[in-house]
Amino acid sequence: MVSKRKKKYTSGEGAQYMTRKAALKKLQLSLNDFRKLCILKGIYPREPRNRKRAQKGKAGIRTMYQVKDIQFLLHEPIIWRLRDYKIFNKKVGRARAVKDFEKLNKYLNSHPTLKLDHIVKERYPTFIDALKDLDDCLTLCFLFSTFPSLAHVPRDQSALCRRLTLEFLHAVIEGGCLRKVFISIKGFYFQAEIKGQTVTWITPHHFSFTPHSKAEVDFKVMSTFVEFYTVMLGFVNFRLYHSLNLYYPPKFTALQQSGDEKSLVDEDIFVAERVAALNLPLSKTSNELVEEDFELDKFNADGSEANEERQEEIRKEMEKIKTLKNLFKGFKFYLNREVPREPLVFVIRCFGGEVSWDKTLFVGSTFDEDDESITHQIVDRPSMDKQFISRFYIQPQWVFDSVNARDLLPVQKYFMGEVLPPHLSPFIDEEKDQQYIPPEARALYNENELEEQHKNDENQDEEKDEESAEGAEDDDDEEDVEEKEDDEATASKKPKLSVSTGEVFKEVPWEKDRQERQEFRLREKMVKKKHRNLYKSMMDGKQKRAKEIWLLRKKRRLHDEKEKGDKKTIKKDKGKEGSKKKVKN
């Protein structure tokens, strides 16, 4: 029998992909509803290997989706809820057009709601999976918490983001999870370690909101992402609070409300303001957990030195983290009104410090400026009229630099009115190649390496001294016997001296480089054909990064030269002014 010939594009990539237009027709959804559904379900366009086959021979570049993803969306119950929204909008529009306000109120009271709990559980089956994908969620929620009421960003959504982000900050404070902080133009970078997962997010600076045009930012798409992320962050906060043995939503141990406050606000607003202050400890459940000092288990099955060194590194890192959690313990900080309150309160409380501010500025202050037990006052101005001798007046950067250094830095460089040292990023790995490291950071890393080497040399010297002291007694007994044996050996054996002329080896300086380049070219030729494109892209990326590093170094060199020139001109001007004053006198 003659087998039937297959039609073109019924197998392979032609059957694995479909266009967005075909997907809309299959799902019977509008473009806006389809975008919203794809964002909530985590489905994105795919790039086929052979675009011509995937597009069934049609020209142009089209948005392609995998067929299995679209078939996965067919069984999603949210599709029916989106259709209910469409029917609801038609009914409301018709009732408003004919001015039937009775039906209009009836429809508005029975507004369909969209529940996303099952999608969160579907996309993140375990709590660790949610923590791995928490970076974008936190960054977007912190951004939306600063927005006013916009066209596609309702006020309730911004208020919900504000509440959830503050609850997350309280959980990080109670758990002592914060590890790194950094101030940049974008905002405050924070990095925490939660359940063994590294979570990094950005908190924007508190500036006045500047409206953007739709061409720059599509707030409708971002609002859809936030709609999903708020549900996800609510689940994460719930699990975090219960793992830390805290009440959720947060409660405080003792909140005494004065008569004036009772007449002005209700209980919910009173608690919400204290939560926003980030300055009060949260109340724990009845079954309080007892903190124990855990020791690192030793697994040395192979007995190798590398395994022992790795365990020693982990043990040292655990000790550093343990001391970092109590970095500001016993210190009391007072914040002036010109410094950013929220990030400083968050950082100081994460490491065991106490914070307060002017009670007329914001609620939640615990002590006044006249308190003599204050150790540090954080200011951001050149001078102050009234100062206390018992405290340090420092700039805010000292707090962040001390956290990144994991030690209390000297306060002399951060005094009020001083020119601050460079604020270095803690997210740079000094062991990683192909990245620009500023000279200040390089000097800091070299200092740390020298200190560690000096400590290791001291430990080795102490061990040698102990060994020599132990063996000194045995050496005294054996010295006489060894001297006699050496005398007999030298008398019996007289060495015969022989001298031969040596040849001078002249090393060619460029020969080694030439040989290395030749070996590198040979290794490049050995790369397999299927890996050549990948290797080429890797080398192109390496050259691009090297060029970026060169440009940054050039920019820094020009900046330093300009700074030196400015200092010289200032000195010359001062010298001229001084000479003029002498002539006048």
Residues with Cβ within 8 Å of residue 190, at least 6 apart in sequence: 178, 180, 181, 200, 201, 202, 203, 346
Determine whether 386 is exposed, middle or buried from the number of CB atoms within 10 Å of its CB (0-12, 13-18, 19+).
Answer: exposed
For residues 115-144, give the mean pLDDT.
93
pLDDT level of residue 455 (50, 70, 90 thresholds): low
Does pLDDT of 330 surpass 60? yes
CA distance 559 to 555: 6
Instruction: Give the position of tokens 């020209």.
Output: 59
At residue 290, the pLDDT reads 47
Lowest mean pLDDT among 55-59, 95-99, 403-407, 462-466: 462-466
Backbone angles phi, psi at 353, to 5 degrees: -90, 165
pLDDT single digits (tens) 188-220: 999 999 998 999 999 999 887 777 776 778 888
- Which residues have a Cβ under 8 Å from the Cβ of 300 and sit 6 or more positions away? 307, 308, 311
Regarding predicted confidence, which is higher, 539 or 461?
539
Give 479-524 pLDDT, tens digit per residue.
554 555 555 555 555 555 667 777 777 777 788 888 888 888 898 8
The CB-based long-range contact list for 545-548 (8 Å cut-off, 24+ gap) reads: 545/434, 545/435, 546/434, 548/436
Q: How far apart are CA 403 and CA 397, in angstroms?
A: 10
- What 3-state class would DSSP assign to 187? strand
Task: Classify domain 328-414 by CATH number.
Answer: 3.40.50.10190
Top pLDDT among 181 and 438 is at: 181
pLDDT confidence of residue 394: 93
Give the pLDDT band (50/70/90) at residue 267: low
pTM of the predicted structure, to 2 decimals: 0.77
DSSP label of 531: G
**160 or 506: whose pLDDT is higher?**
160
Mean pLDDT value across the chain:
82
CA distance 141 to 127: 19
Q: Provide mean pLDDT across the span 65-70.
A: 92
Residue 286 has pLDDT above 80, yes or no: no
Assign 367 to helix, strand or coil: coil
Residue 497: CB atoms within 10 A of its CB come to: 5
Mean pLDDT of 278-286: 81
361-381 confidence digits (pLDDT tens) = 888 888 898 888 999 999 998
